Structure formats: C-alpha cells, structure tokens
Structure 1
Amino acid sequence: MTNIYDNANEMATVLRQTPQYAALQAAFGKMKADPIAYGLFQQMQKLQSELQQQQMANQEIGDEDIKKMQDFSAKLMKIDVVTELMNQEREMNGLMDELNQIVSKPITDLYRD
C-alpha cells in the first residue's frame, strides 16, 4: 500500500515546478526587493496575525482595527509589485482549488451515493 504522505510530498515537489508557482515566486521576489512595498506588506501581515489572534480569543475587533486594516490595504493596492503579487496569488489559489477538488473527490463521491 502506498503511503499517502509520500504522495503528498511528491505533490508538493511537483507544485513547485508549475508555472503558477514560478510566477508567484517571481512576483514575491519583486515585491520583496521594494523596501517600501515589503515593509508595508510585513506590517499588514503583522496586523492580520494580531486580528486573527483576537478573533481566536473571542475578542471583538474594533472599528479602529478595521480602519487600520483598510488603510493598509488601500496603500498596498496602489503599489504595482503588490497588485502583481495578489494577481499571482489568485492564480495559485485557482490551481490549489482545482487540486483540492481532485483530492477530496472520493469523499464528495462517498456522500453522493
């Protein structure tokens, strides 16, 4: 019997060879090379993490936090390398959705019978 984890690791290796991954990697590299864009990106990630922790702790997210997140998002969307990264993320997410449908098909089929 095959080890499902070996298959998953093989899939991860093959995923790194896809055009979508290469484009995402290139877009991230460009964004990372721009100190302003990357600095804002890191601040946005930190804020997202803090808000997620608040949600997990059942703490209400305040209007100020929401406004701060919207402001960061608006700033980031004005930077070309960030919008390119987001476009490539959408492409990668599309591929991941397709793969998830394939992998979860046995479970979907099970409940259809």
Structure 2
Amino acid sequence: MTVNVYDTANQLEKELRETDVYLNLKKAFAKVQADEEANPLFQEFREVQQNLQQKQMSGQEISEPEVQKAQELSGKIGNNEVINDLLEAEKQVGQMIDDVNQVILKPVRELYQA
C-alpha cells in the first residue's frame, strides 16, 4: 500500500482550520484589526520584531535604541487586552502545532533511539 503523506498533510491543514484553537486565533486577530488603538500598535510590534529577528539571523548587532524601542512596545502591548488575547491565542495554536509535530516526528526519533 502506498501512502501519500502530502494528502494526509493537506487533510491535516484543513482539519487544523476547523479547531477551536485556530478559530479563537482567527477571532482574536479580527478584533485586533478592528481596534483603532490595537491594530497600529500590533503592526508596529510585528515590524520591530521582524527587523530584530532579521538582524539576529544575519549576525548583525542590535543597537541599544532598538532594544529600548522593543521594550517600550512590549510594555504598551502588555497593557492592551485585545493584543494580549491575540498573543494568548497564538500561543495556544503554537502549542497545538508543537504537539502535532511531536507526533509526526515520532518515527524519526524512534529510529535514532534504537
């Protein structure tokens, strides 16, 4: 019997979209987008976060003003309930994906443990 793991992966993708965890993330993201205060703050946070990650990945040093800006934004986000709800929903989706990843990689881990 030939198994097509790509068909299985595509089915998993469809099923993940139907989980409560994903639907909660989708709702939380829509709330951030609709919030006049939260949306620009979240967009700025994502931009700063991406820039810092790119610098780290390319081995560039992160300047003190960049660190301060990230900390300032982090503080503002910590005070915004709408964004905090989104970040919590992201965390739960990330946990679900980690759990699924552990299941998927089980045969490989077992192979190297033998």
| Normalised TM-score (structure 1) | 0.93
CA shift, 1:56, in A, is 2.6
- Measure the CA separation in 2 of the matches of 1:103 and 1:17: 19
CA shift, 1:8, in A, is 1.1
Give the equivalent residue in structure 2 for 1:22.
Answer: 23
Give the equivalent residue in structure 2 for 1:97.
Answer: 98
Opposite residue 16 of structure 1, the aligned amino acid is R
Opposite residue 45 of structure 2, the aligned amino acid is M
Give the equivalent residue in structure 2 for 1:82.
Answer: 83
Q: How does 1:10-49 map to 2 (within 5 A)?
A: 10-49=11-50
CA shift, 1:2, in A, is 2.3
- Measure the CA separation in 2 of the matches of 1:5 and 1:24: 25
Give the equivalent residue in structure 2 for 1:52.
Answer: 53
Deviation string, structure 1 residues 28-51 (Cα, Å, up to 9, x no partner) = 111111021110111111111212
The percent of aligned pairs where both chains have the same amino acid is: 37
Structure 2: which 5+ residue stretches go unaligned? none
CA shift, 1:84, in A, is 0.8
Question: Secondary structure of the residue that 2:60 maps to in structure 1?
Answer: coil
Question: Secondary structure of the residue that 1:58 maps to in structure 2?
Answer: coil
RMSD (Å), alpha carbons: 1.1
Aligned residues: 113
- Measure the CA separation in 2 of the matches of 1:6 and 1:70: 43
Question: Secondary structure of the residue that 1:35 maps to in structure 2?
Answer: coil
- Measure the CA separation in 2 of the matches of 1:94 and 1:52: 21
- Measure the CA separation in 2 of the matches of 1:89 and 1:48: 15
Structure 1: which 5+ residue stretches go unaligned? none
